[in-house]
Structure formats: C-alpha cells, structure tokens
Amino acid sequence: MTSPDVLIVGGGIAGIAAALRLAEQNVRVTLLETRRKLGGRATSFVDVRTGQMLDNCQHVTLGCCVNYLDFLGRLGALDLLEWHDEQYWIERGGRTSIIRPGWLPAPLHFTGAMLGASFLSLGDIAQLARIGGAMLRTDRTRHTGETFGAYLRAHGQSERLIRRFWSPVVVSACNLDVDKVAASSALHVFQDGFFAHAKAASIGLSRVPLVQLYDRAESAIAAAGGTIRLSCGVDRIGPASVVTSAGETLRAGAVICALPVERAREVIDPASRDDRHVLMERFEFSPILGVHLAFDRPVISTPHAVLVDAPTQWLFRKDAAGHHVHAVISAADEWMGLSETEIASRVCADIKAYLPGSAPATLLSARPVKEKRATFAPTPLVEQSRPSAIGNSGLILAGDYTATGWPATMEGAARSGYSAAAAVLGAPLDSLHAPALHASRLVRLARGA
C-alpha cells in the first residue's frame, strides 16, 4: 500500500484543521482517531440514560476567534452558529444587567453598558476606567511570569470587583482562578476579546450538537485522496511513522501529533523526544463541570446568563421555552468529588436564588459531566513552557497547548492545526492563519501603533 504523505494522530479540532488545510494543498493525509467520532473534547455523546445527544460541555466562540470561524467556514458549518451581542449578568434575586456594545468606537464600545450595570458600583466603574487604558498599553508577553490577580491588585482593583467582574470572565475564558492564571493569558482575553473591536466579544453558540459541526470533514479530506480512520488507537508516534494499538506500522513523509498533551507525552517515541518533551512534562490541568438539567416548566428566559458571585458561573438555555438548561462551572476542582445528587442540588439552588421565577419548577433530570482534565492550566510556569509546533526531532505538534498565544480554546486549537499544516508545507507557522479583526484607530493609538 502506498504511504500517505502525512499522518495526523488525533481527530479533535487541531487535527481536523491541519488535515483540511493540507487537503486543500492536495497533500494526501490519513487522520487517525481513537474514538468513533471526531471533535476531541469539543464533541457530543449519546446519553445512555435518555438516548439524547448531549455536548460534553457548552462550548462558546467569540467574534475574535477568527481561525476557528475560518475552520467552520471551510467545513460549511458557519450557518450552524447563532450569534448574540448581549451578555446577561444576573444578581441574586434576579436583577439583570445587559452588557452590549454601544455606538462608541472600540475600545469605548462597552462604556454605556458598564455605566448602567447594576452589579457594578460607581467605585467599581472608576476602577475599571483606570485599568482600561493600562491594559490597552500593556505588552502582555512581559507578564507571563506573574498571575492576573497580582496584575489586577497592582492596578488598584478591589477584591469585590475582582470577585464580581474579573473572575467570572477569566475563569470562563481560561478555566483557572485569577490568582493562578498567568497574567499574559488573561490579558489576551481582554485585549483581543473586549477592547480591539466592537464585534470581538459577540458570543457564538452552536445550534446543533457539536459533533455535527464536523460532518463535512471526511468528505473534504477524501476529496483530496485522504482518509479518516476512526476507532484507531495509537501506541507509538515518531517523526515518520505511527504504530497503532493493533500493531500496524504506518509510515509517512511527515507526522503531526494532535493529541492532548497528557496523551502525547505518553506515546511519543522516546527516540523522537526533544526539548519540547521536557516542557510538556510541566503541564498541569484544570477541570470543567457541565450539568444538563431538564425542568417541568420554563426556568430561564434569556439565551444565557452569568450568575454574579455564584458557584454556578454560566447558564445556557438549550430550548426555545427554557425548560432545558446547561450549567457550566469552570475551574471546578471543588466540585469533582461531589455526587450527581449533590451537584444537581447545588446548581438548582443557584438557579432558584438567581432566577426567582423558577421557584415553582420541578427538576425532571440532571446529567452532570465531569471533565477532570478539560484544559491545560495556564499558570505562569505552564505559559512559559508551551512548546512550538516544530522541534529538532522532526515530529510536528498540534493542539491548543502549543505556543499559539491563546488560552485553551477552540481558537487556539484551530490556530495550532493551521500552524502544523504550515510546518508540513515548509511555510512560516502563521502563514495560514486568518487575519485578526482590524483594531479601531483609537485602539491603535492607545497601543502606540
């Protein structure tokens, strides 16, 4: 059998993205995935209790995630997203603030909404105004070695404001507490996701189960002579060969390892390890808890909600009526040891405290999904240890943990896949990246550009 030009191990977003870009260049690829479906951690499963197709966890994209959106466009799946410009911040008792961009240009587009936000005091607003300009001018690469909590306190942010505003955003985006996450990662969220463009923080949600976003991947790769092999585990990976769990040896001109970092460091051939493997050993992880809930009547009227200063951080309405809700708790270390009954009880208590109209509702079912290693933990040590796609061994790495410049997100995964494809083609790693949203003139002036 003729060898494929490139072997790609791992059928998550990074692996699919690399395969698509190479297929477009008429490079013949074979994509190996140990599961029976694509998507990696951003996929769906059939709940054996109900037969329903459920997402592992609610995944959100933003307007600034240009490479992930480009990836979906190449799959013909962009129309499967629905977009929201509003964020609904709900306080205990139900008082709601709507954060949406106004008529002012970036980076001032949220000014009106923040001034009108009931969960922020005048003192909070003053603190936000003081730090906003500093954030715009900050070179985030110089703050990799400190935590975002230290950065915030150095810029006069109170504990109350950190708890009620900064923490909900950062924990959701980086899956780590402000006192653990590297300042560079958190600054990236605000610089690119809030300040750069009026549409940068627009929220995109899939209208279908996540696994359906990848339906066209197989046909697109096959059209270029490539293949996707599902249910194909891997025991050993080198720069020009892969040994499957069935003992089959596959050879190729190049190999891309697009596995999660914890799996990659186990299966990479010791003879193929280079300095990047030392960096990979430093990685730590952070859990996410998603809870699928069904009630006998509507409990939520908004598409989604941030619960201010609550253990349950986000709620997402999963049907038009609001009977079905998906709750998300990021950096969920304290929840991992709880039983399903305890988890459901705590989440329902938050829902009824923050959405008083839900009080008469009866819970019909609850399906918690624990992902103990949902993402890498972008601590200062880990951020300084993220490996490049290319190294001395010749093995190419892809995955959101690589040096993408982004937190552990679908955008980071797509960028890494594009970089891996560029490495195969011998091009600069960023040559296949989609262009970033064009920063406004005010933003460029504030940055001194």
Task: Please indicate, yes or no, whether the overall pTM of this predicted structure exceeds 0.85.
Answer: yes
- Maximum CA pair distance of the chain? 70
How do the domains of the chain map onto residue ranges? 6-56+208-283+378-425, 102-200, 285-376
For the purposes of burial, counting CB atoms within 10 Å of the CB of 185, is it exposed (0-12), middle (13-18) or buried (19 or more)? buried
Contacts (Cβ under 8 Å, ≥6 apart) of 126: none
Fold exhibited by the domain 285-376 = Polyamine Oxidase; Chain A, domain 2 (3.90.660)
Q: How far apart are CA 94 and CA 392, in angstroms?
A: 56
Across the beta sheet with 241-244, what order do the strands follow? 234-237, 241-244, 249-251
CA 406 from chain centre, in angstroms, equals 9
Q: How far apart are CA 432 and CA 449, in angstroms?
A: 24
Residue type, 80: L
How far is the CA of 137 from the CAs of 153, 405, 444, in angstroms? 17, 18, 10
Quick check: helix, strand or coil at residue 194?
helix
**Structure confidence at residue 222 (pLDDT):** 86
Tokens of 298: 């509507």
Count CB neighbours of 123 within 10 A.
Answer: 11
Q: Check if the beta carbon of residue 74 is closer than 8 Å to that of residue 213.
A: no
Q: Which residues of the chain have pLDDT under 50?
A: 1-2
Q: How far apart are CA 288 and CA 332, in angstroms?
A: 5
**Structure confidence at residue 445 (pLDDT):** 78
Quick check: helix, strand or coil at residue 446?
helix
**Structure confidence at residue 449 (pLDDT):** 58
Q: Check if the beta carbon of residue 170 is closer than 8 Å to that of residue 29.
A: no
Q: How far apart are CA 156 and CA 131, in angstroms?
A: 8
| Domain 6-56+208-283+378-425: homologous superfamily in CATH | FAD/NAD(P)-binding domain (3.50.50.60)
Closest by CA to 334, choosing from 386, 295, 289, 302, is 289
> Which run of H or E residues covers position 18?
helix 13-24
Q: Is 306 left (phi over 0), alpha (psi -120 to 50) or beta?
A: beta
CA 413 from chain centre, in angstroms, equals 8
Q: How far apart are CA 120 and CA 161, in angstroms?
A: 8
Q: Check if the beta carbon of residue 128 is closer than 8 Å to that of residue 121.
A: no
Residue type, 48: V
Across the beta sheet with 61-62, what order do the strands follow? 61-62, 203-206, 81-84
3-state helix, strand, coil split of the chain in percent (to 5) is 35, 20, 45
Q: How far apart are CA 241 and CA 4, in angstroms?
A: 11
Contacts (Cβ under 8 Å, ≥6 apart) of 396: 254, 255, 256, 257, 389, 390, 420, 423, 424
Quick check: helix, strand or coil at residue 286?
strand
Quick check: helix, strand or coil at residue 247?
coil
Tokens of 358: 């839900």
CA 11 from chain centre, in angstroms, equals 16
Reply yes or no: is the peptide bond before residue 107 cis, omega within 30 of 0: yes
* Secondary structure letter of residue 51 according to DSSP: -
Q: How far apart are CA 33 and CA 265, in angstroms?
A: 17
**Structure confidence at residue 1 (pLDDT):** 39
